[in-house]
Amino acid sequence: MLMPKIDINAELDTFSESDTSVLFVTELLTTSLSLIKQNLNENNIEHAKNLSLINTEIFPLHLQNLRESNPIISDEIHIMLLDIHNGIGVIDSSQLIADINKVESILNQYTITNPDYGKTIALLLIIVDEQYQISITNENETLYEFSLLLVNRSHELFSNTNYNERLTLELNSFLVELNDKVANKSDFLSVGTLITAISRDFVGHESVVYDKQKFYETIRDLYSDMLVSLDAGDYEKAEELAIEAYLENFEYLEPDIEKVDPELLYALELDMREELRDMIKNNQDAQRIRIFVEESILPDLSLAESKVQVLGTEGLANTVLDKELKEMGDATDVQKSGVRGEIDFIRDTLQEMLIQYQSGDYQSAYTSARTAYLDSYEFVEIPLRAIDPDFTLEVEYQFAELRNLIKQQADFEEIQEVAISIKRSLDESERLVSGTGTLAPSIAFTSSFAIIFREGLESVLILGAILTYLEASRNNRFKKHVYYGVIGALGATGLTWIIASYVIELSGANRELIEAIAALSATAMLFYVSFWVLNKIEHKKWMEFVKAKIWQATTTGSVMVFVMLAFFTVYREGFETVLFYQAMSGFAKYMEVYVGLGFIAGLGVLFLIYYLMRKLGRKLPLRALFGLTMGVGAYMSITFLGNAVRELQILEIVPYTGMIGIIPRLDINLATMTGIYPTLETVVAQIILLGIYLVASTYVLVMRPRKERHLASMRKSHGANTDV
C-alpha cells in the first residue's frame, strides 16, 4: 500500500489540521482506489462507481487543508478524481486504472509532519459507520470489504498515538472488538454504537488546552462543506450543513462567548441562525452567501474564539458577567406571550416526534426534534438566558441528547425519557420568564388557607364539644387525656409529613409518577370528605354526630377512650392535610411562601373559632361554614385532578390532545393553581367531576330537603285527618 512520507518522530503535542486532513484523505483514497481497480478488473462497474462517488464527495471537504499542504497536487488530484468518476462505465477500464495508478503515485508526494492520529482514525470510522450500514442493508460485498479494510487500517494507525496507558488499553480493546464485529458482519446498530464510543474517546482527548476547540473547527469545516454545496447548486444540503453548524456545535460555545462578549454572541446568533438560513432558503446567489460567511460570520467566530482562549478555562469559571442577571419574571409582556406560544409549539412537536419515532420514521423524528429546538426554543432562550444562563445551557444539552439518541436509533423508552425531561424543562422555562405574577400567588395563599381551615374545622368543633361536655358534666379529670391525644396526633402528623417527603425524594425518576398518584389520591379524598360534609351540613345532624361521639367515650369511663378519640379526630384530619399539601407542593413552585402564609393564617382562624366556641360560648353558623368547606373541597379536588391528568400526560401514560385556541391558555403558574390546561383529557376529566358535584349538591341541598318537607307535610296532614 502506498503511503505519503510521514515523520513518525515528530512531536505530537501540537497537531496540524492540514496534516490531519492529508493523512485522512490519503488513507481513504489509498484504500478505495485499490478496490476500484479490483472492481474494474472484474467488470463490476456499478460497485466501482459507488466507491468513486465516496472519493468525489469526501475530497472536496478537506480541499482547503490539503491546499495548505501542497496546493498543486491537491488540485490535480481533485480534477483527476472527478474525471475518473465520470469515466467509469464510459472510458476503457485499462485507461481508468492507469489514471488511478497516477493518483496513487501523486498521493505519495504529500509530506505529513504533525497529524492528529486520533482524529484521523475518528474520521475514517465515520466513513466505516456510513458504508458498513449500507453494505449490510443492501448486501453490498464491495462496501463491506471497504469498511473492513478501513477498520484494519485504523487499528494500524492507532500505534502512532501517545495516549496514557489506561486510555490506550481501552481504545485498543475497542478497536479489536470493532474489527471482530465487522469481520463477523454484526448488526450495524451495534457497530455504530461502538464506533460512537471510540470516536468520543478520540475527540474527547484533544491536545489543545481549550477543550471546546473542536466546536470551532467543526463549524469551519461545515461552512466549507456548505459553500461547496452552494457552488454545486445544492441549497437543501447547504441548509442542513448550516443548521448543523449552529445547532450541533455553536450552542455549546454560547455560554463562554457570552462571558467575554455578550454583544458579539448576539451578533453571531443572528447571523448564523437567521440571516444565513434566510439567504439559503431564499436561494440567494452563492457568491453573496460566501461573502457573508467569509467576511462576517467567520471573522466574528475567530474573534470570539481568541477572546475565550485569552481568558482561559479558569478565567471562564471565575468570570462574572458585567451585567447582572435579571430576576425571575423580568421580561416584557410580548416576550412572555411569545415564550408561551413557542413552548406550546415545542410541546406539540415533541408529541409528533414520539409518534414518528415509534412508527420507525427516524428521519422525520429527527427533523421534528431539530425543529423544536432550532425554530422555537432558540427564541425562548433570548429572555431566559438573561435570567438563568446555566439552566438555559442545561436545556440545550437535553435537546442535543434527544437528537443524538434519535440519530443512534436508541430504544423508544430512552427517547421518551429525554422528551419527558424536556417537557418539564419547558414548564420551568416558562416559570422563569413569566414569573409568578399576582393572581397565582393569591390562589396559592387562598388554597393553602382553605385546606388547613377545612381540615382543622372538624377537629376544632369535635374537640371543643368534647371539652365543653366534660366541663358541663363535671368530668374534668378526662380533659388532660384529650390533650394527650391531640399532642400525639400532632406528632404523628409531623412524622407522616417527614415520611411522605422522604418517599417522594427517594423515588428519583419515579417522583413525577408519585406526585401524580398523590394528586389523584387527594382528589379522591376531597371527593369523599366533601360528600361527608354535605350529609352533615344541617346543624342538627352535626350535633347528633358530635353527641354520639362524646356519649361513646363517657359511657366507657376509660381514659384511653378519650385519648384515642382525640388522637384519631386530629390525626385523621392531619393525614388528609399531609396528603393535600404534598399534592399542592408539586404544583405551587416558587409560591411556597404564599402557601406557608396561607397555612399560618388558616391556623389563626381556627384558633379564633375555638376561642369563640369555648370562651364566649358563641353558636357558630355551621351550615355556612360547612357549605364553604364543601365548596373549597370541590374546587381543590377539581384542581388536583387537572394537574394529575397533566402529569400523566407528560409521563405518556394518558393521551395528549391539544386544544389551544379552543380552551384558554393560562400562564403556567395560574394553570397549576387551577388545573386548567388546553388539552381535551384534562378538561373532560374536570367537567365530569364538576358535573358530579353539581348533581350531588342539587340533590342534597335542594331535592332531598324538598322531599323531606313534602313527606313531613303528608304525615302532618295524615295525622290531622286521623284526629278528625
pLDDT of 451 strictly over 90: no
First to last CA, the chain: 128
Q: What is the pLDDT of residue 210?
A: 33
Q: What per-residue confidence (pLDDT) applies to 121?
A: 92
**DSSP labels, 35-47:** HHHHHHHTT-HHH
561 and 445 both lie in a single domain: yes
Cell of 613: 366556641
Residue 564 grid cell: 384515642
- Cβ atoms of residues 357 and 406 within 8 Å: yes
Q: Is residue 724 part of a domain?
A: no
Residues 517 and 425 in one domain: no
Structural domain includes residue 721: no
Q: What is the pLDDT of residue 578?
A: 82
The pLDDT score that the predictor gives to residue 156 is 92
Rounded mean pLDDT of 692-708?
76
Domain shared by 635 and 575, yes or no: yes
Same domain, 335 and 232: no
Residue 643: pLDDT band (50, 70, 90) is: confident
Picking from 435, 451, 469, the residue at the C-terminal end of a domain is: 435
CB 689 within 8 A of CB 527: yes
pLDDT confidence bin for 205, thresholds 50/70/90: very low
User: pLDDT band at 12, cuts 50/70/90?
Assistant: very low
- Domain boundary residue, one of 288, 319, 350: 319
Three-state DSSP state, 111: strand
In this structure, the answer to whether residues 28 and 152 fall within a common structural domain is yes
pLDDT of 209 > 50? The answer is: no
For residues 658-674, one letter each, b for 16 or more C-beta atoms within 10 angstroms of the residue's C-beta and e for the rest, the string is eebeeeebbbbbbbbbb
Is the per-residue pLDDT at 82 higher than 90? no
| pLDDT in the model for residue 234 | 93
Q: Is the whole model's pTM more than 0.85, yes or no?
A: no
pLDDT attached to residue 565 = 72
- Is 492 within a domain? yes
Look at residue 2 and tell me if it is in a domain.
no
Cα torsion through 635, 640, 645, 650, rounded to 10: 130
Least confident stretch, 99-103, 396-400, 598-602: 396-400
715 domain-assigned:
no
The most confident of 352-361, 401-410, 617-626, by mean pLDDT: 352-361
Using the 8-state DSSP alphabet, how is residue 679 labeled? B
Whether 26 has a pLDDT exceeding 90, the answer reads yes
Which three cell numbers mark 390? 446555566
Give pLDDT, residue 620: 62
According to the model, what pLDDT value does residue 203 have?
A: 63
Residues 289-340 pLDDT 10s: 999 999 999 999 999 988 888 765 444 444 433 446 788 888 888 888 888 8
Q: Would residue 179 count as lying in a domain? A: yes
- Tell me, yes or no, whether 480 and 427 share the same domain: no
Instruction: Say yes or no: 472 and 407 in one domain.
Output: no
- As a whole number, mean pLDDT of residues 593-619 equals 80
Q: Is residue 662 part of a domain?
A: yes
In the block, cell 448564523 appears at: 272
DSSP assignments along 528-557, one per residue: HHHHHHHHT-SHHHHHHHHHHHHHHHHHH-
607 and 675 together in one domain: yes
Query: In this predicted model, what pLDDT tens digit does every residue of 452-497 receive, in sequence order?
Result: 887 777 777 777 767 776 776 676 777 787 788 888 888 888 888 8
Per the CB < 8 A criterion, the answer to whether 559 and 478 are in contact is yes
| Residues 606 and 536 placed together within one structural domain of the fold | yes
CB 651 within 8 A of CB 513: yes
- Domain shared by 634 and 675, yes or no: yes
Q: What is the pLDDT of residues 141-160, one digit of tens each?
A: 999 999 999 999 999 999 88
561 versus 667: which is more confidently predicted?
667
Work out the pLDDT band at 564, boundaries 50, 70, 90: confident
- What is the spatial distance between Cα 67 and Cα 63, in angstroms, rounded to a whole number? 6
The predicted pLDDT at position 213 comes to: 75
Q: Among the three residues 388, 406, 435, which one is the final residue of a domain in this structure? A: 435
Same domain? 633 vs 486: yes
Q: What is the pLDDT of residue 512?
A: 65
CATH of the domain at 419: 1.20.120
Residues 315 and 360 in one domain: no
Maximum mean pLDDT: which of 49-63, 508-522, 700-714: 49-63
Q: Calculate mean pLDDT across residues 12-24.
A: 76
In a domain, 412, yes or no: yes
Under a CB-based contact definition with an 8 Å cutoff, are residues 460 and 483 in contact?
Answer: no
Task: Tally the domains of the chain.
Answer: 4
The pLDDT, as a whole number, for residue 206 is: 35
pLDDT for the residue numbered 723: 54
Which residue segment(s) compose the domain that 155 sits in?
7-209
31-45, 249-263, 361-375, 555-569: segment of lowest average pLDDT:
555-569
Higher pLDDT, 600 or 562: 600
Question: In whole numbers, what is the pLDDT of the chain averaged over residues?
Answer: 79
Helix (H, G, I), strand (E, B) or coil at 6: strand
Give per-residue pLDDT as tens, 258-279: 778 888 888 887 888 778 988 9
